[in-house]
Structure 1
Amino acid sequence: MTPQELRTFCLSFNDVVEEFPFGPEASVFKVAGKMFALSRLDGVPLTVNLKCDPDMAVQLRAAHPEIVPGWHMSKRHWNTVTVDAGLPDQQARELVEDSYDLVVAGLPRAERLRLDRP
């Protein structure tokens, strides 16, 4: 997955915006004002911080060396995923979508329904 593909995929979900609260080099992708992905799209290697269910996060880290506890994030709820280190693109996309879904699941019901994600 290229940086542009990652950016395009993150922006493909309902109500997502890209912001730069940590400076111009760090893209923060938010839904309804809540972050679900953080990446230095010009970084080498290309990494992205993604929200993850705590139990699943432990399993993913054990199974994939390119998935580690979230860098500068809550290690319990966030993973840092190196997307250009052998992780299949489809799996990277699933992790991004799971992160988005976790954030949406924490929103009020009316907001979830507005996003068409019950």
Structure 2
Amino acid sequence: MINKIWAQAGMKALAEIADIYPRMMSIHDNSLFDGSFAMDFINHGDKIIYCAMYLYIGYVNEATNFAESQGGGGSDTKDWGREKNEDEIEWIRRCLRQATKMVKPKCGRKIKR
């Protein structure tokens, strides 16, 4: 049930962003959106939604495995979980923020020789 709700909400959000994206790019400098959540969601929205769904239901290891299997670098999820006084919307937002970090490729420092 939760999977279906998340999938429907996520796909609706992706469709809405896909609708406004061309207008956004035609009236603004494209570089304004580099590194923004909007661009991350446009480029990796389906992955972000699935990863956030795993986090939301408490499947932290599955979220990490999913993110890494999709080319993401994973992320530090130690002590991850819903806070005692956190409301539903803020919890969903935090899951989406964390999932966005997790699905991005990890940028590590390379050893110089």
The answer to whether the superposition gives a TM-score over 0.5 is: no
When normalised by structure 1's length, the TM-score is: 0.30
Q: Which has the higher strand share?
A: 1
The higher radius of gyration belongs to: 2
Q: Which has the higher helix share?
A: 2
